[in-house]
Chain A
Amino acid sequence: MSDPAPTRTEGLAEEARAAAERAARASYGRLLAFLVARTRDVTAAEDALAEAFRIALETWPQRGVPERPEAWLLTAARRRLGHDWRHRGVAAAAAGTLALIADERQEAEMAEIPDDRLKLLFACAHPVIEAGVRTPLMLQTVLGVDAARVAASFLVSPAAMAQRLVRAKAKLREGGIPFDVPGRDELAPRLEAVLSAIYAAFGTGWDDGVNPAAGVAAAGLADEVIFLGRLVVALLLAEPEARGLVALMLHCEARRAARRNAAGAYVPLSDQDPADWSASLIQEAEAQLNLAANAGRPGRFQLEAAIQSLHAGRAAGRAVDPAMLAALYGGLVHFSPTIGAQVGRAVAHGDAFGPVKGLALLDALAEAADGYQPYWAARANLLAAAGQGADAAAAYAQAAGLTDDAAVRAFLLARRARLAS
């Protein structure tokens, strides 16, 4: 009666939980996309899938993990959806239910669940969906990232984020958003929106997890976002920009550990020791970029990746050629004249042709870049290089005041202090 030995049931429960977690991680987006493709109702599909995972955790420990966990989860979720509709007597949903039941009959023959994730990505980044919520919507639907974590990544209140997601899902359900991969005519602009949203997600994970003291809890979304990028590449093989984006993210990821020293202090790219970069990630990035370049259709992400590739050359003993860097930034601004690209170009021109040239480019941005932290950091460095100490000090303080990263703040204030001495 009081036998404290771990029971067989506990072992099975552990195994079942691990299996459910594996299935969730590997196939959440796939299962959700499949359900949404047939019902358009993201919220109902999420609820049904959550219920399916709950039932799995309850029954798998007793009956063992099914042979095909994904198919099992899908069946459970579909039954749940069908039940809800019958319960609510929603006539409009009848067609969706029928489609689901028809699919279920074919399940025996269905060797693999069709992958509708690409359709879901395009739907999430549809022009009808507000630009600011596209990335959160992707993270939640395709990756299953919970709303609180998405909100934190974007530095908004969880309640506000939840509200925005609810509104976006209503648009997916009601609005005439096509649930398919756009045809050739439409593909380029729509793909740009998908890739931009993925890159935005990568950006939110940028400073997460770089501080070893913060531990696993702070680990960012970068891994998951790179997974998304790889998924787009896998499903849209011929698109060089998708490869360009993956190459860009891999190059940045390769330097994650090098961005902080052992004491947790910020280390700028030019001061990083290439020995601290991940050689395997750089290699993979270069391979992707080469494949992209073979297509002969350059674009924003390929140029951004090429810029990072040039920096990565240091790992192979090649110094960064400032004129080449300036030329690549010129190309980037041509494809994508964002404020970030223009600040980058100013810095590159400053390195290549002297700080006065860089400052002239920054001056032209002053109004648009007012509260943009990288603008002030770039301005401070260029002013310092131009020997304008007092203005540089003010710009360093402004850059420090606009960052939310304590390590970057300390770095900028130290630079300012060095000016004075």
Chain B
Amino acid sequence: MQYMLIFRESEAQFGERNDPAKAPAYWGAWMAYIGALNEAGVVVTGNGLEPPHTAATVRVRDGARHVQDGPYAEAKEQLGGYFVIEVPGLDEAIAWAARSPSASYASAEVRPVLPPPQR
């Protein structure tokens, strides 16, 4: 089964990425986690994402285009990265989500990947 692990981070964590005092711990934790995922051979794909202020959100309504700076919605936790992993089931996916630094400081969501439509 494939699951997407969706990592959310708070503004504080996004800030740590470039804070000389905190960046080593921040990246150390993520690199250890990503290393363990790779070592386990479960990764299908995945990426970290630039912070939410770099986002642009697009809507098209009745032919009118709307482009907004920033993420879809203001929230305390924002999308910081994701992985798609291949594991036997939800229990294993949740176990991997719990090991992510996001789970300790913000949240990690687990979603089954929709299988391709059958024809």
User: Residues on A close to B: CB < 8 A?
Assistant: 155-157, 160, 370-371, 397-398, 400-406, 409-410, 412-413, 416-417
Decide: B29 and A413 in contact? CB cutoff 8 A: yes
- Across the interface, B90 reaches (CB within 8 A) one of A157, A398, A412, namely A157
Decide: B32 and A156 in contact? CB cutoff 8 A: no
CB neighbours (8 Å) of A416 from chain B are: 28
13 further contact pairs, Cβ within 8 A, besides A398-B35, A401-B36: A155-B98, A156-B94, A157-B94, A397-B32, A398-B39, A401-B32, A401-B33, A401-B35, A404-B103, A409-B29, A409-B101, A413-B32, A416-B28
Contact A410 B25, CB 8 Å, known A156-B91, A398-B39:
yes
Q: Smallest CB–CB gap between A211 and chain B, Å?
A: 11
CB neighbours (8 Å) of A371 from chain B are: 40
Decide: A403 and B105 in contact? CB cutoff 8 A: no
17 contacts between A and B (CB under 8 A): A156-B91, A370-B40, A398-B32, A400-B28, A400-B29, A401-B34, A401-B39, A401-B99, A404-B98, A404-B99, A406-B104, A409-B101, A409-B104, A410-B25, A413-B29, A416-B28, A417-B24
Q: With A and B bound together, what is the CA distance between A263 and B40 in angstroms? A: 33
CB neighbours (8 Å) of A397 from chain B are: 31-32, 35-36
Q: Smallest CB–CB gap between B13 and chain A, Å?
A: 12
Q: Smallest CB–CB gap between A358 and chain B, Å?
A: 22
B95 at the interface (CB under 8 A from A): yes
Q: Smallest CB–CB gap between A116 and chain B, Å?
A: 32
Q: Smallest CB–CB gap between B94 and chain A, Å?
A: 6
Q: Smallest CB–CB gap between A133 and chain B, Å?
A: 12
Q: Smallest CB–CB gap between B66 and chain A, Å?
A: 36
CB neighbours (8 Å) of B98 from chain A are: 155, 404
CB neighbours (8 Å) of B99 from chain A are: 401-404
Q: With A and B bound together, what is the CA distance between A63 and B35 in angstroms? A: 64
B43 at the interface (CB under 8 A from A): no
CB neighbours (8 Å) of B79 from chain A are: none
Decide: B39 and A156 in contact? CB cutoff 8 A: no
